[in-house]
Structure 1
Amino acid sequence: MAIAEQSTQITQPDGRVDLPDHAGIANSRYYNPELAPVPVEKRTWTTYNYFALWMGMAHNIPSYTLAASLIAFGMDWIQAFMTITLGNLIVLIPMLLNSHAGTKYGIPFPVFARAFYGVRGANLAALLRGFIACGWFGIQTWVGGQALYVIVGTLAGDGWTNSAVVLGQHWTLWLCFGLFWIIQMLIIWRGMDAIRRFENWTAPLVSVGFLILLGYVLVKAGGLGPILSAPSKLGWGADFWKVFAPSLMAMIAFWATLSLNMPDFTRFGGSQRKQIRGQILGLPTTMSFIAIVAILTTSGGQVLYGEAIWDPALLAARFDNPAVIIVALVALVLATVSCNLAANVVSPSYDFSNAFPKRITFAMGGLITGVIGIAVMPWRLISDPSIYIFAWLGFYGGVLAAVAGVLVGGYWLVVRTHLDVKDLYRDGGGRYWFNGGWNLRAVVATLVGAVLAVGGAYGGPFPADGLIPLLKPLYDYNWLVGVVAAFATYLALSLPSRDDVPVRLQEGEARA
């Protein structure tokens, strides 16, 4: 193996880069073992690991409610399925583009963001992502607690489900919410290996609950005929297209968080091919599966009960067969734990750790996530499909799209996938220190993209005319606007500069 003079990183034959010696950065305040680049020999995740990860993340109650909510808005099953499938295919593009850096360099998302926002400025991108994940953690924990509440109520009877109301909810529901929260904290405290093992064994099981719900509804509704023949309340004219655009943006926004922080998982990838193939096999297929199950189940419930019940726990509570309720919801509880740990705890754990690497460990970051997840009052976010889709998903999707635009443009077109790993952890100086640790070009690009994307937010908690009336027409296309605007702005500000030229082999990169 030929080592270049003063080499700091080694490029393997498959393109992955290793940093064998951490001595020069281990004492940096921007370094800790969880944020450190993963050695090549420990990057062992296979195609199945990524497929299982996506199955665990996609097959959960909020994924179900996402699809079911479109039926509640008046779409028929074809319109809803088309909207969801298209959204997932679109979001897969930035997801794979950002995943590349994780596998190549073994670094998590907040460290990857340092290359473009600066060693300190990366906290802007990381904490934006982290706080959104806290909201999602709270939502997942609430709906999982609801499912647990229905399960126990089926066994314990009316005394459980009709218990005294405290702060607007039955105290037994609060109890289930708290218990569900504690179980997840115990798992995350054991670290990433515990999460990977949990994903692997639950992935094949999480579909069972949804299939039981669907099977029961199909039998009671008299088969697929009554469900598939239900007409769209929107038709295919102007009423549909008015709902389609913001709904599509919401479908993309559902995984916009993961499109940023997939390096948190792909840093363990055995090769680029394995992570790419695992994600292509995982995301579109699993989300399409859960979408069609949710759509058919909700449509069947509409036939049976005369209303679109978009929460599967509440739908199951209508069933008259206790065994079906218990088996289905136990599987859904497992599915929700699996998704919540992977999608909504791993990222903020790294993100909060990145803010104070020497003080906050991965496990402590997970605990912070759990506390903030309660503070955001998730029972309000999930209470109404219009707030859930157009306010919550739409708004944060547009903001995170701006971050995605900066990362994709910076990594693929400005530095052309070349990073100096050691400088990503350097305490002062280095190519990623920029101005006091901040790259103002990335900050400006993010602000431009975010303002254009969500400045016109309307509906729900926002003014009817939009926060900025002039930008209201753009809000229906918030994710697309955010990505394109931030991407173009960052390129315009960065390309004339010499600061971001690619790291060349002679600057310290050796080949194995």
Structure 2
Amino acid sequence: MAELRKSDYSNEDLRPTRAEERTWSAYNMASLWIGMSVCIPTYTLASGLIAAGMNWWQAVLTIVLGNAIVLVPMILNAHAGTRYGVPYPVFARLWFGTKGAHIPSLMRAIVAAGWFGIQTWIGGSALDALLSSLWSGWANIPLHLPIAFLAFWALNVWIGYKGPEAIRSLESWGAPLLLALGLCLLVWAYKAAGGFGPMLSAPSKFKTTGEFLAVFFPALTGMIGFWSTLALNIPDFSRYAKSQKAQILGQIMGLPTTMGLFSFIGVAVTSATVVVFGEAIWDPVVLLSKFPPLVVTMGTVGIVLATITTNIAANVVAPARAIENLFPRKFTFGLGAIVTGIIGIAMQPWALLANYAAYIFGWLGTYAAFLGPLDGVAIADYWLVRQKKIDLVDLYQASGRYHYSKGINLRAIIALGLGILVALSGRFIPALGFLTDNAWIVGLFVSAASYWYLMRGHGSVLSDEEFRAITDLKKTTETVSQTAEVALEGLEGR
């Protein structure tokens, strides 16, 4: 009766969510995405594309298209979280094994820790600049920038330490406030410039379709890479959703729409600054410093809130869960959040933000080549190989069907390796550059096809009869702990 409680692969945070814990509505899911999408990197995202030669609508369209594409695996992977109530590291055991799951969870965690460092550096720098504009003596304080950075870092770690429910509350009330502030900035830009300014009328710098496509495809990969991280660990959040309808509608309403709108606000407001101030100001912190103190104060609150809502949900949950999954009996989610913060500093975010070319085509594009294949393995396993049928208890057992050979599914590692190899082949063979330009999509399909082929007829796949027996509560009560019983409640209807 207490198999999960005694399991070395389970603890209070990694167990399946209970029915009463599944409280997230479509609004909560949409709020999650609004809170994560409204941030300084989104505001400035289009600037790198415009600098590369696109006009404003080409840049915004590339961003929206990239987010619409990544929304598909986002919804597909979220299904498992909502149906079975498991977090991402446990979901990964399904395809990589009880021990092999550390590979995808740590791959996701490293990227998230890097993003955590980037966001805290941006937020800390913004806080430092805005404090300087509000109080002239702040700039005279020794090490004022490191102080602002560490203060902001500590605030992020503290909220992350409080756990997922604190994140839900923060996103729910923060999302409408952030949208309102963004729209106010858009209205100011329109009125102050007598329109949106010259940037919106500037033509593309590309003379031919070929020149445009040469930039478009690697840029699209970068835009997909922006949220390809969450496409993997979305079960960490969808496990709290009330239903599949709630997670699907919430994500559709929240992700591509907000990313498109806020990146357009960034372009439009920056275009207006050319008219109002005589120069293009892409940095919202620099822009706010030109306003009266009251506006600066309100803007400071908005930027701090925007950075925190993005950072906590997108960049703390995944690595905290991954670290917790390494040592389920010793680490909690809170301790994982602290370790995430330390790693984020160690990754030197100031170097990752050295320039926008390195940011979009280097940082975003490169890790997309690793995460796309992971998405391919996850989708192929759950939807094609197993057709959504999972033995929930075996995900927590060393002797279960998902332990594979010594805890590792070698087939998943081979499929992952093939996807990464093909996706990055253009780095070594110039003639195959188009594969690397579309690294995320190419890697996803190569790994998905490879994994499906390698796993055909595998013994870990449940038959319809086995699945019906497992989901029969009268039988599972004899072998499954109360925790798993509640998680399986109503499974057939989800």
Provide TM-score, normalisation by structure 2.
0.91
Question: How far apart, CA to CA, are the structure 2 residues paired with 1:309 and 1:467?
Answer: 38
Give yes or no for contact 2:373–2:416 (8 Å, CA) kept in 1: yes
- Corresponding residue to 2:76 among 97, 112, 119: 97
Question: How far apart, CA to CA, are the structure 1 residues paired with 2:405 and 2:430?
Answer: 35
Question: How far apart, CA to CA, are the structure 2 residues paired with 1:143 and 1:231?
Answer: 31
Q: How far is the alpha carbon of 1:324 from its aligned partner?
A: 3.1
State the partner residue of 1:144. 123
Kindly tell me: are residues 421 and 298 of structure 1, through their superposed partners in 2, closer, same or farther at Cα, counting changes over 3 Å? Answer: same
State the partner residue of 2:467. 505
- Corresponding residue to 1:374 among 320, 330, 345: 345
Kindly tell me: are residues 380 and 215 of structure 1, through their superposed partners in 2, closer, same or farther at Cα, counting changes over 3 Å? Answer: farther
Q: How far is the alpha carbon of 1:383 from its aligned partner?
A: 2.4
State the partner residue of 2:165. 193
Q: How far is the alpha carbon of 1:29 from its aligned partner?
A: 1.3
Kindly report which structure 2 residues correspond to 1:403-418, keeping only aligned pairs within 5 A, or say none.
Answer: 403-418=374-389
**Can you give the 5+ residue segments of structure 1 that lack an aligned partner in the other structure?**
1-20, 165-170, 457-465
For residues 389-436 of structure 1, give each alpha carbon's deviation from its aligned partner in whole angstroms, at most 9, with x where no partner exists. 001000001100110000000100100001111000002x21101110
Question: How far apart, CA to CA, are the structure 2 residues paired with 1:226 and 1:259?
Answer: 37
Give yes or no for contact 1:227–1:303 (8 Å, CA) kept in 2: no
State the partner residue of 2:51. 72
State the partner residue of 1:365. 336
For residues 288-341 of structure 1, give each alpha carbon's deviation from its aligned partner in whole angstroms, at most 9, with x where no partner exists. 211211121233335556665433223434x25443333223212101101111
For residues 98-151 of structure 1, give each alpha carbon's deviation from its aligned partner in whole angstroms, at most 9, with x where no partner exists. 000000000001101101100110110000001100001111111111221121
Give yes or no for contact 2:97–2:408 (8 Å, CA) kept in 1: yes
Kindly tell me: are residues 298 and 224 of structure 1, through their superposed partners in 2, closer, same or farther at Cα, counting changes over 3 Å? Answer: closer
Question: How far apart, CA to CA, are the structure 2 residues paired with 1:48 and 1:324?
Answer: 29
Question: How far apart, CA to CA, are the structure 2 residues paired with 1:244 and 1:297?
Answer: 23
State the partner residue of 1:32. 11
1:446 is aligned to 2:416: yes
For residues 453-474 of structure 1, give each alpha carbon's deviation from its aligned partner in whole angstroms, at most 9, with x where no partner exists. 1343xxxxxxxxx345564332
1:109 is aligned to 2:88: yes
Give yes or no for contact 1:103–1:268 (8 Å, CA) kept in 2: yes
Q: How far is the alpha carbon of 1:217 from its aligned partner?
A: 3.6
Q: How far is the alpha carbon of 1:482 from its aligned partner?
A: 1.0
State the partner residue of 2:368. 397
1:226 is aligned to 2:198: yes
Kindly report which structure 2 residues correspond to 1:245-394, keeping only aligned pairs within 5 A, or say none.
Answer: 245-303=217-275, 308-317=280-289, 319-394=290-365
1:493 is aligned to 2:465: no
CA RMSD of aligned residues (A): 2.0
Kindly tell me: are residues 240 and 469 of structure 1, through their superposed partners in 2, closer, same or farther at Cα, counting changes over 3 Å? Answer: closer
- Corresponding residue to 2:60 among 74, 78, 81: 81
**Can you give the 5+ residue segments of structure 2 that lack an aligned partner in the other structure?**
474-489
1:434 is aligned to 2:408: no
1:476 is aligned to 2:437: yes
Aligned length: 473
Q: How far is the alpha carbon of 1:24 from its aligned partner?
A: 1.0
The one-letter code of the counterpart of 2:165 is D
Give yes or no for contact 1:209–1:329 (8 Å, CA) kept in 2: no
Give yes or no for contact 1:345–1:369 (8 Å, CA) kept in 2: yes
The one-letter code of the counterpart of 1:183 is L
Question: How far apart, CA to CA, are the structure 1 residues paired with 2:216 and 2:275?
Answer: 24
State the partner residue of 1:124. 103
Give yes or no for contact 2:198–2:274 (8 Å, CA) kept in 1: no
For residues 244-292 of structure 1, give each alpha carbon's deviation from its aligned partner in whole angstroms, at most 9, with x where no partner exists. 1111111111010010011000101111111111111111221121121
Give yes or no for contact 1:151–1:330 (8 Å, CA) kept in 2: no
State the partner residue of 2:148. 176
Other structure's SS at 1:430 match: coil
State the partner residue of 2:479. none
The one-letter code of the counterpart of 2:451 is Y
Question: How far apart, CA to CA, are the structure 2 residues paired with 1:308 and 1:232?
Answer: 17
Give yes or no for contact 1:138–1:373 (8 Å, CA) kept in 2: yes
Question: How far apart, CA to CA, are the structure 2 residues paired with 1:183 and 1:382?
Answer: 22
User: When you count helix as a share of all residues, which structure comes out higher?
Assistant: 2
Give yes or no for contact 2:67–2:256 (8 Å, CA) kept in 1: yes
